[in-house]
Chains A and B, each alone.
Chain A
């Protein structure tokens, strides 16, 4: 059954794997952070500081300690939920991430919804019409999605839909006059504005998110449609499909219910992975659209040698990846009885 010992054991095993992965992630990000040719102490005190102030800063940041001591401190801090203080914002990194993450979550979620709504049907249509023109259209659209630089696509989108047509809001999450009007509860403006019952702000937030989410979502459309197509092709060649057809079940039922139903299981993993990728891969989109999310935060941190911010951000991204993997794994087990 659902909570059989075998199922529990496999869950425990997954959790253990995750724990090991996490420590490894901590170690690697730490090492990368320390060997990178940027000097956090120098970026704190500035080029102009005297040797004395510079050395004092190194000491205050613990950079004068041997690497293993620094790693030990780092690990023990992280386990206490302390990701250090950001040089860039002078606030605890954990606090910063709680502030910026909802923006990325909001963007990636809407983008993934785009990806599912368009990607899955496109993949199905392509598979059913394998080799014919709908398949080619989907392929070309997908190819575009893969090869178009997000930066360029974002700017063109802004130019056309915001600059010329004025259909959508410009860069940023809201028109600046709406900033801080509704109370910050979840950090997700679309939700916060609904909680506050302010539909003007909800509409404004929607008009701002639609374009960056579409641009970002385009990439997941490409990925999801391609994967759906190949999963569907595999299913459509199975015997049970032929059986169903012979039984006289309508073609619509065969494709959208039987075949797609069976494809759902691996698709969940694909969507989860794509979602995780959007959560961390939205760096450029966030830059073009001045979207103050995690990608933006990590990039800014990287450019100013703010290693605490970078390590903290990377850890969260890693955590999201691991977490979504776990989630898709669990869903997989729930949806597919054979996996239990």
Chain B
């Protein structure tokens, strides 16, 4: 063996022995003014803020566009703050909102941000009528009236008139959603084709005033953001953001440990556990909006018995699931509003108590148990939860079979009220408590023909005239604290009386290089922020 081969063999041996630790030592580091993120971004189908409705697209829009009303990333629980609108007033009847624009703000194109751009953007979102447009149209705007209802009275003043009185916080929260992004009218209209208000062009380009502009996007591959040196909050530290679509957790972990990326957003519990020993990497946790629940179809007499419903709530092994197979990716939560939302309810009245469940079933006349089907989609985490439920139900004689299927089969059955027990997840659509209250606690017409498939209360045939009224009242209450209190009450009732067993809320675990600070994923109410990041 010559000297070279010898030293090579020694090096290889040393490397293989040192394998677990040496990966942590970075060979390469990303440039100090550049943030490189790995994430699954294959849900981006459009970059037009009037159409974006999924996570990765929302993340991008949150950094490229500004909204009239926004959040302080470091204090998300404080609620909305002035954004492109410097201030606002609400008329005495609660229907007219007058926004004063922040002076001196410019779009990436150099055009000034005016009230006309704001009016154009909101009108545009209503007229284009893409999936998230309901967030605006629920205030009575239609393609026909929106140009009257939302208009600029001068360059700095935007006036918006809703069809009835709504809670101020509700209106402002909705304006902070992605659909409320303010688009550069001049740039968008320069690219208009066939009266589409720049839709085809904006699907793949950006025209915002945010901290970053879009330099390039390759679907399912990557996008690159370039800093906006004239940003009204001050130019961000990270001059460029590279986002790379890496679907595999193990691959993300390797890149992170190697220092080729700064942030890994989809690490599995195994890879999170594997990271804990590494000195160059840290893990941060943040609550997200996704709620895991199961619900009982009220068209089935057995499942409509209140005592049976209560028994189910005492059967679930909440802590056990969160601590074993869900390993830090979910936390126990039992109310329909995600934690960190206005009106959050932290009470967790239920814990596993099999004796009590047995007694409740006996009171309901079901002491011998019954047979039931759990409808669940064939996704790993949901199947594990379903199996846990199945095992526990068996202890009190409830023989549950799993009806496993694809999204089409399971959601199809759910939307047609053909399920028995449905196990699934729900995420809020915009940062206001009405989003989930409307779904879980509002059912104005329980008739099958009403086909209110967007409402979970309807899907479970749960007829609730009183709670429906309470939900309608809460969305109109102008005092923010009173409103929060109303939602707490509705949720407390819902916990006790509903056929919904809310079990868990999602926790997002992010892997970061040690030197990355100020990376906010946006919690349950918002999207990720890049302009706060420092290295």
**Residue B19 lies at the interface, judged by CB distance under 8 Å to chain A:** yes
Write the chain A residue with the least CB distance to B260.
A170
- Closest Cβ–Cβ distance, residue B67 to chain A (whole Å): 21
User: Are B131 and A96 in contact, with the CB atoms below 8 A?
Assistant: no
**Residue A287 lies at the interface, judged by CB distance under 8 Å to chain B:** yes
User: Are B407 and A43 in contact, with the CB atoms below 8 A?
Assistant: yes
Stretch at the interface among A175-183, A189-197, A230-238, A323-331: A175-183
User: Are A51 and B453 in contact, with the CB atoms below 8 A?
Assistant: yes
User: Are A37 and B258 in contact, with the CB atoms below 8 A?
Assistant: no
Stretch at the interface among A87-95, A134-142, A240-248, A263-271: A87-95
User: Are B131 and A45 in contact, with the CB atoms below 8 A?
Assistant: yes
User: Are A164 and B251 in contact, with the CB atoms below 8 A?
Assistant: no
Q: Which residues of A contact B452 (CB under 8 A)?
A: 50-51
Name A residues whose Cβ lies closer than 8 Å to a Cβ of B: 37-39, 42-43, 45-51, 53-54, 86-91, 96, 99, 155, 158-159, 162-166, 170-172, 175-177, 179-180, 287-290, 292, 296-297, 300, 304-305
Interface string of B413-445 (1 = CB under 8 A from A): 001000000000000010000000001000000
User: Are A292 and B407 in contact, with the CB atoms below 8 A?
Assistant: no
Q: Which residues of A contact B15 (CB under 8 A)?
A: 164-165
In the complex, what distance in Å separates the CA atom of A290 from the CA atom of B247?
7
| Interface members, chain B 453-510 (any A CB < 8 Å) | 453-454
Out of A46, A49, A88, name the residue touching B220 (CB < 8 Å): A88
Q: Which residues of A contact B23 (CB under 8 A)?
A: 159, 163-164
Scoring A39, A54, A89 by chain B CB atoms within 10 A of each residue's CB, the highest score goes to A89
Q: Which residues of A contact B454 (CB under 8 A)?
A: 48-51
User: Are A88 and B412 in contact, with the CB atoms below 8 A?
Assistant: no
Q: Which residues of A contact B34 (CB under 8 A)?
A: 177
Q: Which residues of B contact A46 (CB under 8 A)?
A: 53, 131
A interface: dominant SS = loop
Out of A48, A163, A171, name the residue touching B246 (CB < 8 Å): A171
In the complex, what distance in Å separates the CA atom of A267 from the CA atom of B390?
56
Q: Which residues of B contact A158 (CB under 8 A)?
A: 251, 254
Q: Which residues of B contact A176 (CB under 8 A)?
A: 36, 222, 242, 244, 260
Q: Which residues of B contact A177 (CB under 8 A)?
A: 31, 34, 242
Interface string of B244-262 (1 = CB under 8 A from A): 1111101100110110100
User: Are B45 and A88 in contact, with the CB atoms below 8 A?
Assistant: yes
**Are A179 and B220 also in contact (CB < 8 A) when A46-B53, A158-B254, A171-B255 are?**
no
User: Are A292 and B260 in contact, with the CB atoms below 8 A?
Assistant: no
In the complex, what distance in Å separates the CA atom of A287 from the CA atom of B412?
30
In the complex, what distance in Å separates the CA atom of A166 from the CA atom of B260?
12
User: Are B407 and A288 in contact, with the CB atoms below 8 A?
Assistant: no
**Are A162 and B216 also in contact (CB < 8 A) when A38-B408, A50-B454, A87-B45 are?**
no
- Closest Cβ–Cβ distance, residue B203 to chain A (whole Å): 6
User: Are A49 and B131 in contact, with the CB atoms below 8 A?
Assistant: yes
User: Are A164 and B19 in contact, with the CB atoms below 8 A?
Assistant: yes
B interface: dominant SS = mixed
In the complex, what distance in Å separates the CA atom of A265 from the CA atom of B531?
61
User: Are A89 and B131 in contact, with the CB atoms below 8 A?
Assistant: no
User: Are B258 and A170 in contact, with the CB atoms below 8 A?
Assistant: yes
Counting contact residues on chain B (CB < 8 A from A), the size range is 35 or more
User: Are B255 and A164 in contact, with the CB atoms below 8 A?
Assistant: no
Q: Which residues of A contact B412 (CB under 8 A)?
A: 39, 42
In the complex, what distance in Å separates the CA atom of A140 from the CA atom of B405?
41
Given A159-B254, A166-B27, 12 more A-B residue pairs with CB atoms under 8 Å apart are A38-B408, A42-B412, A46-B53, A48-B439, A96-B219, A163-B254, A163-B258, A176-B36, A176-B242, A180-B216, A290-B248, A290-B251
User: Are A99 and B218 in contact, with the CB atoms below 8 A?
Assistant: yes
Interface string of B210-249 (1 = CB under 8 A from A): 0000001011111010000000000000000010111110
In the complex, what distance in Å separates the CA atom of A261 from the CA atom of B23?
48
5 A-B pairs (CB sep. < 8 Å): A172-B246, A176-B260, A179-B242, A292-B221, A304-B42
Write the chain A residue with the least CB distance to B45.
A90
User: Are A288 and B45 in contact, with the CB atoms below 8 A?
Assistant: no
In the complex, what distance in Å separates the CA atom of A38 from the CA atom of B410?
10
Q: Which residues of A contact B46 (CB under 8 A)?
A: 90
In the complex, what distance in Å separates the CA atom of A38 from the CA atom of B242?
33
User: Are B244 and A290 in contact, with the CB atoms below 8 A?
Assistant: yes
User: Are B255 and A305 in contact, with the CB atoms below 8 A?
Assistant: no
Out of B16, B22, B224, B258, name the residue touching A162 (CB < 8 Å): B258
- Closest Cβ–Cβ distance, residue A208 to chain B (whole Å): 11
**Residue B401 lies at the interface, judged by CB distance under 8 Å to chain A:** no
User: Are A42 and B244 in contact, with the CB atoms below 8 A?
Assistant: no
User: Are A287 and B247 in contact, with the CB atoms below 8 A?
Assistant: yes
In the complex, what distance in Å separates the CA atom of A11 from the CA atom of B352?
74
Q: Which residues of B contact A96 (CB under 8 A)?
A: 219
Out of B12, B408, B453, name the residue touching A54 (CB < 8 Å): B453
- Closest Cβ–Cβ distance, residue A221 to chain B (whole Å): 23
**Residue B451 lies at the interface, judged by CB distance under 8 Å to chain A:** yes
**Are A179 and B42 also in contact (CB < 8 A) when A51-B451, A172-B244 are?**
no
Q: Which residues of A contact B409 (CB under 8 A)?
A: 37
In the complex, what distance in Å separates the CA atom of A290 from the CA atom of B220?
10
User: Are B406 and A38 in contact, with the CB atoms below 8 A?
Assistant: yes
Q: Which residues of A contact B36 (CB under 8 A)?
A: 176
Q: Which residues of B contact A292 (CB under 8 A)?
A: 218, 220-221, 245
In the complex, what distance in Å separates the CA atom of A193 from the CA atom of B46?
30
Q: Which residues of B contact A304 (CB under 8 A)?
A: 42-43
